Amino acid sequence: MFFCDQKNYSHKNEDSLMRYLWFIIRICVRGLALLMTMVIVWGIFDVVYVLYQRMMTPPYFLLNINDILATFGAFMAVLIAIEIFANIVIYLQSEMIHLRLVISTALMAAARKVIVLDYSVNNYLEVLSVACVILALAVCYWLIVLTSRQMDRPDTATQKAG
């Protein structure tokens, strides 16, 4: 189940309809994992093809800044797909959505947007919007890390009292 404590939750306590529906959802999530693997492989072939195409146009074996930015964007898209695949796999293994991984994937997608953003076409409000999204995601990630560290740390108040 989403965002629940796996230790306190079990599908065994549900009726047969809910167990069957969860079975269907797990099959669908496995299908998504398979499709995401195909997207990753396709994305890698696309990166190789784009690089080959750009390198074989005159002047040969030279890339201009637009070619480099397009290549970075393609690389980042593949990395984002790999992160989404990791989200799917972790969900299949633990039936929980790991918020830290989801936020880091969103940060990577926002970073890709910054890399491929054409500042000559976009106005300042769009750039400011992307900056606000990145700031919100960074604060969210920081709060998640801070909270997990506090949960992992033994309570110092109980140690002093004991």
Residue 70 lies in a domain: yes
Residue 85 lies in a domain: yes
Contacts of 138 (CB under 8 A, 6+ apart): 107
Vertex 73, ends 35 and 59: CA angle to 5°? 120
> Which of 161, 113, 160 has the alpha carbon at shortest distance from 133?
113
- Whether 98 shows a pLDDT value over 90: the answer reads no
Task: Give the per-residue pLDDT at 149.
Answer: 87
Task: Give the per-residue pLDDT at 39.
Answer: 96
- Averaged pLDDT for residues 39-54: 92
Residue 162 lies in a domain: no
Residue 69 lies in a domain: yes
Q: How many CA atoms lie within 13 A of 76 on its CB side?
A: 18
Residue 127 lies in a domain: yes
Residue 37 burial (CB count, 10 A)? 14
- Whether 9 shows a pLDDT value over 90: the answer reads no
Residue 1 lies in a domain: no
Contact of 108 with 79, CB cutoff 8 Å: yes
Residue 160 lies in a domain: no
What is the domain range of residue 68?
A: 6-153
Residue 159 lies in a domain: no
The total of structural domains in the chain comes to: 1
Q: In the structure, what pLDDT confidence band is assigned to residue 8 with cuts at 50, 70 and 90? A: very low
**CA quadruple 68, 74, 79, 84: dihedral, nearest 10:** 150
Query: What's the rounded Cα separation, in Å, for the pair 70 and 26?
Result: 36
Tokens standing for 97?
């959505």
Q: Which pTM value belongs to this model?
A: 0.74
